[in-house]
Amino acid sequence: MATTLYVNGAHHQVDADPETPLLWVLRDHLGLTGTKYGCGVAQCGACTVHVDGSPRRSCVTPLRRVEGAAVTTIEGAEGRIAEALRAAWIDLQVPQCGFCQAGQLMSAVALLKAVPKPDDADIDRGMNGNLCRCATYTRIRAAIHQAARAVK
Amino acid sequence: MTDITHVSRREALGLLGALGAFTLGVRLRPAAAAEGAAAGGEVALFVSIRPDGRTLLTSHRSEMGQHVWTAMAQIIADELEADWAQVEVVQAPGDAKYGDQNTDGSRSVRRNLDRLRRVGAAMRAMLRQAAATRWGVDVEACVAKNHAVAHPKSKRRLGYGELAEEAAKLTVPAEPALKARAEWRYIGKPVASVTVPTVVRGGGSYGADVRLPGMLYAVVARPPRLYAPLRGVDDGAAKAVPGVVRTVRLPTLEAPPRFAAVGGVAVVARDTWAALRGRDALKLDWGPGPNAEYDSARFLEAMQKTAAEPGTVRRSRGDAEGALKVAAKQVEAEYHVPHLAHASMEPPAAVARWSGDRVECWACVQAPQSARKAVAEACGVPLDRVTINVTWLGGGFGRKSKPDFVVEAARVARAAGAPVKVQWTREDDLHHDYFHTVSVQRLTGGLAADGRCVAWRHRTVFPPIGSTFTAGNTTPSWGELRMGCTDVPFAVPNLRVESGEAKAHVRIGWLRSVANIYHAFAVQSFAAELAAAANRDPKDYLLELIGPPRHVDPRGEGAEYDNYGDSLDEYPIDTGRLAAVVKQAASRARWGRALPPGHGLGIAAHRSFLSYVATVVEVAWDSATKRLSIPGVWSVMDAGTVVNPGSARSQLEGGTLFGLSNALYGAITARRGVVQQRNFPDFRLMRMDEAPRVVEVHVVESDAPPGGVGEPPTPPAAPALCNAIFAATGKRVRHLPVFRDGNPNRLEV
Ligand code: FES
Ligand code: FES
């Protein structure tokens, strides 16, 4: 059964079980491997994408729920906020292994959209769902502050 | 020894070869060959300058977040006088010709700094010569700088690319002149990582990201207990799941585990989701197997009993037993660190594709040669039929040195007759890890009337890593003991180290800093306990234990000691350097300052992988809510010569928090042989709101030879934390983790 998906500004026909989590549709069917699997149970945030602008854990979001919605992945994240965050991530050399960082960035984009000048408590709330085993938390926090200043 | 040589286009083919390129390579001694043996015949570690100036170089170590690609490139580019923008890194596959490729033991830079510098220097010399010959001028009048050779007098200049073809015809100098340290441009500078710009766009390929035409997806149902036999399989419902293609039975593992697959049933499907649903639908009947009685609580009691009795003496100075008897005060404490899981954010994943009797694999492995051997053995094909392509690693921490998951992919792909990716779920990862071992340490100290420590006895008990390679091995190896136990650098007159036996019931592996984790936890906690018993400041007491600056040699006192594979002359156990990081960390944390109520500072220091780290942790305990938090951490590392102080600082931050996360929450436990933790809610990791707000790290500038960077930050974190908890609350945490079973960071005192 084909489902029509709208991802990063393009339409795709996907032939998959409508219960399939969006994560596996993106990775296995569309080849968008920037979105990562880390737990499958909404505990790590590695799979974070935006659905109609809000952050979602794609590992627990069935395909049928996003039919007709606009999905944005790390590959398609653009705009001033996303680019300011990327620049800060590079400037402060945030990533170590990098595996969690797509999810971190997608959560950070959503945070800065909702709260343009977050304080530390806002960052705790916005980023608590994203685990990093390399423990880059200190730099993530600093990079979000830096990006927020840069966006103005 | 001239081990640097020209490389023909054919030899470098597939990696870097190009027409008109200037390519040098290094012949490396195979990892297994003895020290001093001749370099192998085949060329590895290519550096190639193309006619357009692009400069490609191979990294034979795996990129897993330590930014080794960047470090390798920095070293070569520096001696080569290359333009950083023109340098690209290519990952080398697993092949014995690359010598030791195991990306563990914190030694990628340690083992390669000199040889990579010499390659770069040789190329620079040859490019200068090529230019001098072309212009008919004295080579000494030519300057190589920024990817070009210039003749200042005649104002002529040729780019490296333009000189490549001619340089390729020159003889390789036997002893190329190296740059003076003061002239280094990239080495020792915080050069930005070459991988990060790709990472922030979701690019790059990790093990799980490999996609091949016609590739199928598999997950494996593995034995619930190690060695549990599979008595019956009903895969009817699994095969009925839409998208499922077939199932593949994998033979049950026999002891010792080594790097073979544990066995089970693979479900192969058109996508990962179908494979997962198919696996859920399997009906499997597992026998109990030999580990059905393994219970963590009972096993802890058994280890405690062992540690209460004398063990095998592994190092002895003076008469510790006698001194303990007559000491004015005796202090005794027992410490426990449970099994830990690596839990890299990327669970293991591997892709395999057969054609005829050849198999090509893509996998996130730290040790591609081990993977190659394990696949060849499991599939019964010669080594040269196996290719292992190394992807990026989404964290390794030692787990991905064990290629059991690559073996699975090779076996399943062969049976399926199609390329297959085997994806481990987080549940698989936590259940079937090569776990960090479980341990009990019992320490006894004797204090003189004035509080000085006059006797130190340390008993260590843990199932050894050797059990993974030799069935029934219960004896800790010298290699594990010298990680923080037999190499204790304290200036106490009477010292005794003993080890006890313990049997493994799960696969035991090495995890970032290995035995240093539990040894440093016990030793550095006990140092603070002695300070408390002596009524002394813990930092001052620690410095007194470390004693005057000197070189410690455990070999004179009955210990076999290999110093992480390097000589004690070049890398002594230097108590002066250890004391120096203690003092620096204390001063950066402003040790002794007035603290708010409920706050406390703890300090710990440890030498591992030839580097020295001291860490101060500040905790805050709220007596009303009982909540414990960590407002600040200060860490200082002396790792000798550091190629990239930027990534060294990253490792120091991350490695410290890795240690804190494990100490706060990390525990893998088993009941009836089955691991109890399923996913991240059960195996908790530190989150953003739990991470210290203040993380100040400092990497000491030093001319000493390079030590490890990736692992040494971890060991002092846990004892510094527990020493801080004691300072804040009076409660001594001797059994880790601090919080158990989903406890929301509340500490009862
Ligand atoms: S994979 Fe979705 S939250 Fe972990
Ligand atoms: S950078 Fe490695 S898990 Fe976050």
Nearest to B72 by CA among B39, B41, B113, B36: B113
Residue B235, domain CATH: 3.90.1170.50
* A7-21, B17-31, B54-68, B645-659: least confidently modelled range: B17-31
pLDDT at B28: 66
Asked whether residue B37 carries a pLDDT value surpassing 50, the answer given is no
**Other beta carbons within 10 Å of B376:** 18
- Say whether both B220 and B170 belong to one domain: no
**B273/B328 same-domain check:** no
CB contact (8 A) between residue A36 and residue B205: no
Q: Are residues A68 and A128 in the same domain?
A: no
> Does B36 have pLDDT greater than 60?
no
Cβ of A57 less than 6 Å from ligand 1 = yes
Q: How many CB pairs under 8 A join A and B?
A: 183
CA distance B384 to A100: 35
Tens of pLDDT along B675-726?
999 999 899 999 999 999 999 999 999 999 999 999 999 999 999 999 999 9
Distant-in-sequence contacts of B152-159, Cβ < 8 A, 24+ apart: B158/B131, B158/B134, B159/B53
Q: Which of these three, A76, A106, A125, is where a domain ends? A: A76
Looking at the structure, tell me whether residues A70 and A101 fall in a common domain: no
Weakest mean pLDDT among B56-70, B542-556, B709-723: B56-70
Atom 4 of ligand 2, nearest CA residue: A132
- Domain assignment present for B357: no
Residue B373 belongs to what domain range?
207-289+362-423
Of the partner residues B192, B196, B345, the one whose CB lies closest to the CB of residue A99:
B345
Same domain (yes/no): B712, B613: yes
Indicate whether B85 pLDDT > 80.
yes
Residues B369 and B488 in one domain: no
Q: The CATH number of the domain where A101 resides is what?
A: 1.10.150.120
- CATH number, domain containing residue A33: 3.10.20.30
Total number of domains in chain A: 2
The predicted structure's pLDDT at residue B493 = 98
Contact B718, B523 (CB under 8 A): no
Cα–Cα distances (Å) from B186 to A58, B181, B533, B710, in that order, read: 41, 11, 49, 20
pLDDT value for B632: 98
pLDDT of residue B107: 67
Same domain, B179 and B101: yes
Number of domains making up chain B: 3
Measured in Å, residue B397 CA sits from the centre of ligand 1 at 20
Token digits of residue B587: 């001063």
Q: Note down the domain range covering A87.
A: 80-151
Least confident of B26-35, B432-441, B625-634: B26-35
Percentage of residues in chain B having pLDDT higher than 70: 95
Q: Cis peptide before B213, with omega less than 30 degrees from 0?
A: no
- Mean pLDDT rounded to a whole number for chain B: 94
Mean pLDDT of B538-563: 97
ipTM score assigned to the predicted complex:
0.98
User: CA–CA separation, B92 vs B102, rounded Å?
Assistant: 12
Q: What is the mean pLDDT of residues B508-515?
A: 97
Give the domain CATH number at B682.
3.30.365.10
Any atom of ligand 2 within 6 Å of the Cβ of A134? yes
Residue A11 clears pLDDT 70, i.e. is over it: yes
Residue B11 in this model has a pLDDT that exceeds 90: no
B465 touches B251 (CB < 8 A): no
Find residues 69-108 of chain A whose CB sits inside 8 Å of chain B: 73-75, 85-86, 89-90, 93-102, 105
Domain boundary among A41, A76, A111: A76
Mean pLDDT to the nearest integer, A66-76: 97
For residues A56 and A38, membership in a common domain is answered with yes
- Quick check: is B697 in a domain? yes
- The model carries a pTM of 0.95
Domain boundary among B169, B185, B200: B200
Residue B29's pLDDT is: 56
B464 pLDDT above the threshold of 50: yes
